Amino acid sequence: MPNVYLLAAIAALVGMAGAGWKGYTLGSDHVRAQYAARDLAAVTEAAALTQATQEKYRAQEQAHSQAVAQIATDYQGRLTDAQAKTAIALNAIRSGSVRLRDPGAQACSDPAPGAAAAPSRSDGASDGGFLSQDAAIFLTGLAADADRNTLQLAACQAVIISDRK
């Protein structure tokens, strides 16, 4: 009978070892499943946060693109309008219907220096002092260039302001 008890004891030990191994395996699988669930939740949360951030910046980029497009459209419209006004002014100067005058210029009525003014005339400004057609065209073109540069600078400043919003 001692062999039966010994065999029963060995069988009991083998059964307990098998049960312990099974419990250890189930426990480690459970822990791995918990870690996997935790990691999956973290990845899902990070993906959602990344998606929300990308959508936010995409919306900001689209709004900025629309603002810059509006600034460009406005700039082109003002530039075209200014060019049309300059063309009208230059055509008027070339046709002679418009003459530019230098209000600070004094017309010289007497060719002799130091001659006294005639009693019927005053020494004040007269209708003289008109600029030549070439000078008027040059000054009008110069003013048009300055206006164009001012429009371009204003458009650049508007783009910078829209960038900073």
Name the pTM for this structure. 0.57
- C-alpha–C-alpha distance, residues 27 and 40, integer Å: 20
Q: Is 96 left (phi over 0), alpha (psi -120 to 50) or beta?
A: left
Q: What is the DSSP letter of 101?
A: B
pLDDT along the chain (165 residues), means of 10: 76 86 84 89 94 94 92 95 94 91 68 51 57 91 95 94 86
pLDDT for the residue 25:
85
pLDDT for the residue 112:
53
pLDDT for the residue 121:
47
pLDDT for the residue 111:
52
